Amino acid sequence: MMMKKIFALLVIFLVYTTFLVAQPVRLKLSRQINVPNYNHYGVSLTADGQTIFFTSDYYLSEGNKAELKECHSKGADNWGALEEVTMLNKSGSLNQYAGHGVSPDGNTLYFSSRKMGGVGGFDIWVSTRINGQWYTPRNIGKPVNSEGMEGFPSISPDGKMLYFVRCQTMTNQKAEGCKVYQAELKGNDIWKEPVALPDNVNQGNILAPKILKDGKTLLFSSDKPGGKGSYDLYVSKKTSSGWSDPRNISILNTSSDEIFADMSFQTDAIVYSSFVENYWTVFKAKLPEEFQPEPVVLLSGKAQDGAKRPLKGFVQAMDNKTGAPISITPISYDGNFSLLLGKDKSYDIAITAGNENFYWSGTVSAENLLKSKKEAVEATVEPLAMGKFYQGNKPLFDSTSYRLLPGANLECKRIAKLIQTHPSWKIELVLFVAGVAENKPTDENAAFETMKGTVENELSKAGIPSEKYSISNGAHTAEEEENYSGWGLKIAQ
């Protein structure tokens, strides 16, 4: 009899401890964000997780019922003082509370408002931060906005896809009859006709869709039957065959409402809001692996001109193997930039600042990526000048065959463009055999001729006549000892 009791107690203990282990520990974010007896919700994170935007009814101004706040990480779950997003909060009484989404770098903010100048009821607007100041919001117009109600915008990491909801009714604090739509960017701030996500995703009233940093994982809340509370968190993933059936993140959901979730690029922690003891509160918890987004590379850096001033230019990412364009990211006013690169590709990265300047280029690999990582770049882009030598950054040649590496044709196209945009110049390409491999080849001249022939072939494909450039052997020159990419160029004439 005693053994049966011991066995029963052991079973109860194992079931209880298994239940505890299965439940993630959810922690309230610090008091800087979660001020007691006030509401805090509507979370958006920058890619690096160092800045959080959220809605709060603490410290209100101008008669608003809630306002958008910004807060910066001080490390180890410690956050700095709240900052008000003044430009948006000036018309806060017209904004859909929590209806916002931020770009990965934190400098573009999409939000929903019924302010004057719109297309319909609640529309999607966008504001950009330049020199540390948020500029006057502008309506993104039709066809994203309609005569109806649009809200809860979320921009994809590459800026090419906007996710949002269209609702039957919407107020500052409530939205009903909402379905998720996606709109693709045509270019020059013009969007294609929005398309509703399939019916397997659009079940129940959908709120706060958030596309994560891999561009493939969509977090949202729904009140569809079968959940734990009125609103539960769900995740759907974009695949080659469409959007997967949403999965209830049951380990996080409770009998209360869970809404407004987001994640940074390099963490398994999800940040979301839950209605607890009559107030919305921001929590953080570990997201089970089965729900986590795919790993990505966060490429961040600083670009400057020849005088070490912040560069006004762009960062372009292309598929290093196919040459297909991936994204074009403007460099911030302070010279900083960041972009997210999905797994299973090698990327050609170019930092440019107009035709009168040279450029910086390189390769970033996300192939066989098992865990998200961060890479940093410091780039100097100098003005073009006669007789000046410019060292190439991106390696062009294979260290064994001395032929062009995959993606080197993209560099040759940039050189071709430089020649085409300066028809009165003659460019001297300088090749460095010693910059290709640590061990010099037995026949340096043969290696040079191989390198030269492959470059000539690519320039010929780009339509550049041979008289517009020359190719010289940089062996035993002063630049050779400092060159690790195998090439550079001079403006000879």
Residue 493: the pLDDT is 67
Name the pairing type of β-strands 427-431 and 469-473.
parallel
pLDDT tens-digit map of 15-50: 333 333 445 678 999 888 999 999 999 999 999 999
Residue 485: the pLDDT is 85
Sign (positive/negative) of CA torsion 265, 270, 272, 277?
Answer: negative
Residue 306: the pLDDT is 87
Q: Which amino acid is at 44?
A: S
Q: What gap in Å lies between CA 96 and CA 143, rounded to an integer?
A: 20
Say yes or no: domain 295-383 is CATH 2.60.40.2190: yes
Cα-flanking dihedrals φ and ψ of residue 417, to 5°? -65, -40
Starting at the earlier edge strand, list the strands of the sheet with 296-305. Answer: 336-342, 296-305, 373-381
Residue 24: the pLDDT is 63
pTM of the model: 0.88
Beta carbons of 316 and 337 less than 8 angstroms apart: no
Residue 482: the pLDDT is 63
Beta carbons within 8 Å of 401's beta carbon, 6+ residues apart: 450
Closest to 48 measured CA to CA, from 267, 265, 340 = 265
Residue with more model confidence, 194 or 474 = 194
Residue 4: the pLDDT is 47
Residue 6: the pLDDT is 44
DSSP, collapsed to helix, strand or coil, labels residue 487 as strand
Residue that has been written with the tokens 């297309």 in this structure: 119
User: What value does the mean pLDDT take over residues 232-242?
Assistant: 96
Q: Respond yes or no on whether the N-terminal peptide bond of residue 143 is cis (omega within 30° of 0).
A: yes
Starting at the earlier edge strand, list the strands of the sheet with 269-276. Answer: 27-28, 279-286, 269-276, 258-262
pLDDT band, very low/low/confident/very high, at 178 (cuts 50, 70, 90): very high
Q: What percent of the chain is modeled with pLDDT above 70?
A: 93
DSSP, collapsed to helix, strand or coil, labels residue 86 as helix
Q: Which amino acid is at 225?
A: P
Q: Exposed/middle/buried for 211, CB within 10 Å: 0-12, 13-18, 19+?
A: buried
Say what angle helices 444-461 and 408-420 make with each other, to 10 degrees.
Answer: 60
Q: Where are the domains of the chain?
A: 26-291, 295-383, 385-493
Say yes or no: domain 385-493 is CATH 3.40.50.300: no
Residue 17: the pLDDT is 38
CATH topology (fold) of 26-291? Neuraminidase (2.120.10)
Instruction: Evaluate if residue 147 carries a pLDDT over 90.
Output: yes
Name the pairing type of β-strands 247-248 and 232-239.
antiparallel
pLDDT band, very low/low/confident/very high, at 131 (cuts 50, 70, 90): confident
Instruction: Evaluate if residue 145 carries a pLDDT over 50.
Output: yes
First to last CA, the chain: 101
User: What value does the mean pLDDT take over residues 426-439?
Assistant: 88
Q: Exposed/middle/buried for 462, CB within 10 Å: 0-12, 13-18, 19+?
A: middle
